[in-house]
Amino acid sequence: MRTFIAIELPEEIKTILERIQNDLKQTHADVKWVNPENIHLTLKFLGEIDEDLIEQIRSILNGIAQKNSSFNICLSNLGVFPKLQYPRVIWIGITNDQPVIKIAEDLEKEMIKIGLPAESRAFSSHITLGRVRSPLNRKILVEKLELLNQNFPSLKPDFKVSNLTLFKSTLTPAGPIYEALFRCPLKD
């Protein structure tokens, strides 16, 4: 099954991110937007795994969760990969991300121990909003991103992270369907 480990976002944060997506949609750029219900912060993409590994992953996730206290993170600014003039992925960053980075690094080490492949690039704390499919209206999209970023610092919405979640991802023609297989609570 196709899986990933992530931090779930509260509904009020998803609503804010949906509003940002709606602002960006007005550019009519060719972007495949993440369904607001599916927006999350990925800690580790596992890909296709054997169901036999689920209990090992649960044990690892529980161990990491019990070593880390719940914490708050804050949405920061909009960004793109690889660069603003040629966006491929539109994302929103977070501040106070030291606990997120530590957890992601710990997950990486533990998943390698059970035979899952290492990431090819360094972890980056971000929440994906959409993927650019073509250059259609790219210039307008970039201008809108810059404008939204100028106004974004006034928002600074934050939220508490209290669980690490293993998700199953089922790909369908209408888009992926995410199902939480289990949640591991962080220490209070």
Helix spans in the chain (H): 11-25, 54-67, 98-113, 138-151
ω into 82 cis (within 30 of 0): yes
Q: What is the pLDDT of residues 125-152, one digit of tens each?
A: 999 999 999 999 999 999 999 999 887 7
Q: What average pLDDT does range 45-60 have in this prediction?
A: 95
Q: Is the pTM of this model over 0.85?
A: yes
Structure tokens at 9: 């976002």
- CA pair distance 84, 148, nearest whole angstrom: 13
- CA pair distance 121, 161, nearest whole angstrom: 24
123-157 residues labelled b (16+ CB within 10 A) or e (exposed): bebbbbbbbbeeeebbeebbebbeeeeeeeeeeee
Would you give the DSSP letter of residue 38? G
Among the options 34, 65, 91, 126, which is catalytic? Answer: 126
Q: Which domains does the chain have, with CATH numbers?
A: 2-185 (3.90.1140.10)
- Identify whether 28 is a catalytic site residue: no
Q: What is the pLDDT of residues 3-25, one digit of tens each?
A: 999 999 999 999 999 999 999 99
Among the options 3, 21, 39, 40, which is catalytic? Answer: 40
Q: What is the pLDDT of residues 58-93, one digit of tens each?
A: 999 999 999 999 999 999 889 999 999 999 999 999
- CA pair distance 118, 98, nearest whole angstrom: 20
- Identify whether 126 is a catalytic site residue: yes
